[in-house]
Chains A and B, each alone.
Chain A
Amino acid sequence: MAGWTGELHLDVENRRGKTVAKRVYFQGALKVMRPIYHNNTGEVCYYILNPGGGYLDGDRYRMNIKVEEQARLTLTTQSATKVYRTPEGHVYQETEIFLKKGSILEYIPDPLIAYQQARYKQKNIIHMEKGATLLYSDIITPGWSPEGKRFSYDWVQLINEIYLDQELVAFDHIKLSPSLRNVETIGSMEGFSHLGSLIVIGEQTTPELLDRLYQAIKPLTNDYKVGLSQLAVKGFTVRILANSTQMIESIFTNLHHMISQEWFDTTPSFLRKY
């Protein structure tokens, strides 16, 4: 249990208005590419890379991300995280994030694709100081299966624990287990294949903003279902059930643009990947 298949440590700080790496360390099957500055806000963007091309049986990954005071980091992946079959042991990924006062983290990984007989557990533990801003999203998608089954993975479990000044303020626990029960039913995936989640925490959150965000994304078709709700602290979550990654990504991008415009007077950069 001691070894990690891949490890990544990234610590960024604000040096005279520009966010730069204070420490970058990676080993095994995780790495980051060189930093990219998409605009002149000083915000740095790092792309996480899985040189192995996918998560395999029993793999264990660990990330540790620190954003120091007033630093701005966008973190994404270079491509989707693919989890293949795990006959022996489930894949585990653990990420611990520290956000200092006035820092901004936008953590927008590509979707997770869980293939036939995949088992995957992910735990994100996020420690925020008051005045920090977090935007995090994830998308769970079923991978192609030879039999054409819609949900061929065994189970996928995502846990998000968010602490604000040491107090637990949000606990998000999703576990989809198509191998144990039918997930197509009412109350579960309800006929959809993709699940998207967005968590935003920022002191500028107001009920009026949430009303406007909801108006912008409220479904006028049956192509997706969306819920948006305020957290116990200043922030909110969004859940989307849909049938494609593109559908969920376009809604999240829309929300991301509105929030960036409203809070930072900036437009998020298009994260070119291919």
Chain B
Amino acid sequence: MLDRTLSLFQLCDSNFPTGAFSHSYGLESYIQEEIVYNQETFSEWLRVYLNEQLIYSDGLATRLIYEALEKGDMDKIWKMDRMLMVQNLPRETRDGTQRMGERMLNLVESLYQNPVLSQYRERIRHKQSFGHPAIVFTMVGYHLGVSQENTTLYYLYSTVVNLVQNAVRAIPLGQTAGQKIIQEFQGDLAKATQKIQMLNEEDFGIVSPGLELAQMMHERVNIRIFMS
């Protein structure tokens, strides 16, 4: 089992080239407004992003997709692909996420032979689906035999690690501060995964107004280092 978990870790690496390094999901708006400026204020933002947005969208999606894969319910997966796309109201984060999903899919397709991944790519090529990193990641986790809970946990982990790396560059923070945040968030990630296990499908797509507003406002920012 260990070797297969290790295979999924490859996708969690912040060097895995999906383009995550160029997306801040509204964090840059807060940095420019000087609301986020150090380790404490960044951790506060990250905690809200994880608990008030990520778990209800991508996080809950990883669980629902994994369960659909177990049942072979492909229609459910294509429905979730659309839900993930259209619940993302800010255009930049929606477009950015879609590009990341496509890039991740192309990459993992060169690493794994899997009919579900090929089917997803074909649907995207025919504009029947959009492409989302949470779906690609879950498909790989399921393919590798990693449990649903761990697939969800590692997906959240990879998102958080990427955001910390981006914060280290943008705020900026020291590398040590960045690692401290990643360590400090291990408990939050475990709790967030537990919460996702308890959520209902009706909870999908809840957004927190301030976070979403910052993502929309970013589209109107002139000087920027991130695409969202």
Q: Contact residues of A with B, CB < 8 Å?
A: 167-176, 185-190, 195, 214, 218, 225-232, 237, 239, 241
**B residues in contact with A227, CB < 8 Å:** 90, 212-217
B205 beta carbon closer than 8 Å to chain A: yes
- A interface, over-half SS: strand
Please list 27 pairs of residues, one from A and one from B, whose beta carbons are closer than 8 Å in the complex, sorted by A's number: A168-B82, A168-B86, A169-B86, A170-B86, A171-B83, A172-B89, A173-B56, A173-B207, A174-B209, A175-B206, A186-B30, A186-B48, A187-B48, A187-B49, A187-B211, A188-B208, A188-B211, A189-B209, A218-B220, A227-B213, A227-B214, A227-B215, A227-B217, A229-B215, A237-B216, A239-B213, A239-B216
List the B side residues contacting A225 at CB < 8 Å. Answer: 210, 213, 217
For residue B2, give the distance in angstroms from its CB to the closest CB of chain A.
37
**B212 A171 Cβ-Cβ under 8 A:** no
Which residues of B are interface residues toward A (Cβ below 8 A)? Answer: 30, 35-36, 41, 44-45, 48-49, 52-53, 56, 82-83, 85-87, 89-92, 94, 204-217, 219-220
**Shortest Cβ-Cβ A-B pairs, 5 listed:** A227-B216, A187-B48, A173-B205, A171-B87, A227-B213
Compute how far the CA of A78 lies from the CA of B89 in the bound complex, rounded to whole angstroms. 30
Given contacts A227-B90, A232-B86, contact A239 B212 (CB under 8 A): yes
CB-CB under 8 A from B204, the residues of chain A are 173
Given known contacts A186-B210, A187-B49, A171 and B216 CB-to-CB distance under 8 angstroms: no
**What's the dominant secondary structure at chain B's contact region?**
helix
Partner of B209 from the list A214, A229, A241 (CB cut-off 8 Å) is: A241
Given known A-B contacts A225-B217, A229-B216, A171 and B209 have beta carbons under 8 A apart:
no
B55 to chain A, nearest CB (A): 13
A239 to B217, CA, bound (A): 10
Most chain B CB inside 10 Å of its own CB: which residue of A188, A229, A239, A241: A229
Bound together, the chains give a CA A195 to CA B214 distance in angstroms of: 14
Chain A: CB-nearest residue to B51: A181
Q: Are A229 and B210 in touch, CB under 8 angstroms?
A: no
A218 to B221, CA, bound (A): 12
Given contacts A187-B52, A227-B216, contact A171 B205 (CB under 8 A): yes
Min C-beta distance of B215 to chain A, whole Å: 7
Q: How far apart are the CA atoms of A170 and B214 in the complex, in Å? A: 19
